[in-house]
């Protein structure tokens, strides 16, 4: 498969305001939004979305003791038969790791636990911080064993899987595709800034506001830059969206797998458009980790992107609309 694929059609700065059917919800510890272009498809679309989110959660959640990922983590070192969905999610995570040269690593679970992210995020931020623990590098994505055809996988001893962002982006892609096909509608699925669109778009594209305050992208009230997207995916990664205390330090969830520490970066947020939400998410996460090298890397891939520095300066790349 290719590394990270660009969008098939360009994004633009046209602030289209289509008449859409909107539903908001909470999922995976973050906000969500579902938009469809046909009123009579709304109920079916919501049902399909619910099934996809529940399935991804049961397969991939690190915080559910009954999930497949939890089973693999508890019984590391042994080969297990897994569901087709988890096999797909693992394949997606490994492809993202390869495409980003290890920047997006699904074996960062123990690294996150060491920093105190050992339970649902709402619980992490509401508890009293304990003593800081020493950082631990990722276990190494190349060590995972997956046979997608035979539906088997194994995690090495001492390695803790965290599919995290790639599973959320996959959920957005899968839900959007299923809704567009089954409900015969144009659709946008937004899971905490991981956005996938499918089916016939509104006449002037999907209007997406880039919220630089918290690093998310959504369908907001017009206070932030707006782009229009016709297909594929858009994702925003931010060092300010998930922050908590580890001892006397404030840490964020985008880790450098090589050190197990929060990425030291010049970017507060990175938004990338690509052919899928999974690809956009992998690229936006890697851009944060790559810091000053990110613009050249994204330009080489041909990915439209918007990077916001820690001082608030904006850098646009490729076909992303110029904001000057």
User: What are the residue boundaries of the structural domains of the chain, listed by start?
Assistant: 21-317
Rounded average pLDDT over 171-183: 98
Instruction: Name the CATH superfamily, with its identifier, for domain 21-317.
Output: ApbE-like domains (3.10.520.10)
pLDDT band at 122 (very low <50, low <70, confident <90, very high): low
More confident of the two residues 252 and 26: 26
At which residue do the structure tokens 């690093």 appear? 215
What is the pLDDT confidence band of residue 20, given thresholds at 50, 70 and 90? confident
Nearest C-alpha neighbor of 17 from the set 188, 185, 206, 201 = 206
Q: Is 71 left (phi over 0), alpha (psi -120 to 50) or beta?
A: alpha
Chain centroid to Cα 123, Å, comes to 21
Contacts with 167 (C-beta within 8 Å, 6 or more apart), sequence order = 56, 59, 60, 89, 92, 93
- The predicted pLDDT at position 220 comes to 43
Dihedral angle over CA of 194, 196, 201, 206, nearest 10: 10
Cβ(291)–Cβ(254) below 8 Å: no
- Tokens representing 226 are 């707006």
Mean pLDDT, range 279-287, rounded to an integer: 98
For the segment 125-166, what is each residue's pLDDT rounded down to a tens digit?
Answer: 666 666 667 788 999 999 999 999 999 999 999 899 999 879
124, HSE (Cβ side, Cα atoms, 13 Å)? 22
Looking at residue 275, its pLDDT comes to 97
Task: List C-alpha distances in Å: 152 to 65, 159, 299.
Answer: 20, 17, 37
What span, in angstroms and rounded, lies between the C-alpha atoms of 157 and 263? 25
User: From CA 64, how far away is CA 120, in angstroms rounded?
Assistant: 9
How are the residues of the chain apportioned to helix, strand and coil, as percentages rounded to the nearest 5?
30, 25, 45
| CA distance linking residue 223 with residue 134, whole number of Å | 41
The percentage of residues in the chain with a pLDDT greater than 90, rounded to a whole number, is: 65
pLDDT recorded at residue 10: 36
In this structure, the number of other CB atoms found within 10 A of the CB of residue 33 comes to 16
The pLDDT confidence band at residue 112, using thresholds 50, 70 and 90, is confident
In 3D space, the residue among 16, 194, 229, 188 whose CA is nearest the CA of residue 96 turns out to be 194
- What's the CA gap between 57 and 51, in Å, rounded? 10
Per-residue confidence at 27, pLDDT binned at 50, 70, 90?
A: confident
pLDDT (tens digit per residue) in 53-105: 999 999 999 999 999 999 999 999 899 999 999 999 999 999 999 999 999 99
Judging by beta carbons within 10 Å of its beta carbon (0-12, 13-18, 19+), is residue 292 exposed, middle or buried?
exposed
The confidence band for 212, taking pLDDT boundaries of 50, 70 and 90, is low
Q: Evaluate if residue 224 carries a pLDDT over 50.
A: yes
Query: What pLDDT was estimated at residue 239?
Result: 87
Report phi then psi at 18, rounded to 5: -75, 160
Q: Tokens in use for 134?
A: 């020493």
Give start and end residues of each alpha helix (H) in 78-201.
84-99, 109-114, 121-126, 164-182
Res. 113 pLDDT band, cuts 50 70 90: confident
Angle between helices 277-290 and 164-182 (to 10 degrees): 160
Work out the percent of the chain whose per-residue pLDDT is above 70: 83
């Amino acid at each position: 498969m290719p590394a990270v694929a660009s969008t098939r059609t360009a994004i633009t700065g046209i602030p289209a305001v289509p008449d859409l059917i909107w539903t908001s919800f909470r999922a995976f510890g973050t906000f969500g939004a579902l938009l469809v272009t046909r009123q009579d498809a709304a109920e079916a679309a919501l049902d399909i979305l619910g099934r996809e989110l529940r399935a991804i959660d049961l397969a991939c959640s690190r915080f559910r003791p009954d999930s497949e990922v939890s089973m693999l983590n508890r019984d590391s070192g042994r080969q297990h038969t897994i569901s087709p969905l988890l096999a797909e999610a693992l394949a997606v995570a490994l492809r993202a790791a390869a495409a980003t040269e290890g920047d997006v690593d699904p074996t960062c679970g123990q690294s996150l636990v060491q920093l105190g992210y050992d339970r649902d995020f709402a619980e992490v931020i509401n508890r009293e911080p304990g003593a800081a623990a020493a950082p631990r590098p990722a276990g190494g994505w190349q060590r995972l064993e997956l046979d997608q055809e035979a539906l088997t996988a194994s995690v090495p001893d001492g390695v803790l899987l965290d599919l995290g962002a790639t599973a959320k982006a996959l959920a957005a892609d899968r839900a959007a595709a299923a809704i567009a096909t089954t409900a015969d509608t144009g659709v946008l699925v937004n899971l905490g800034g991981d956005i996938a669109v499918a089916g016939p778009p509104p006449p002037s594209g999907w209007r997406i506001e880039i919220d630089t305050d918290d690093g998310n992208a959504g369908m907001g009230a017009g206070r932030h830059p707006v782009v229009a997207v016709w297909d594929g995916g858009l994702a925003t990664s931010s060092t300010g969206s998930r922050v908590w205390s580890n001892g006397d330090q404030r840490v964020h969830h985008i880790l450098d797998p090589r050190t197990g520490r929060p990425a030291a970066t010049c970017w507060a947020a990175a938004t990338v458009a690509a052919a899928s939400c999974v690809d956009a998410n992998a690229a936006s996460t890697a851009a944060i980790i790559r810091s000053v090298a990110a613009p050249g890397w994204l330009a080489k891939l041909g990915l439209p992107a918007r990077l916001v520095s820690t001082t608030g300066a904006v850098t646009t790349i490729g076909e992303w609309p110029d904001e000057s």
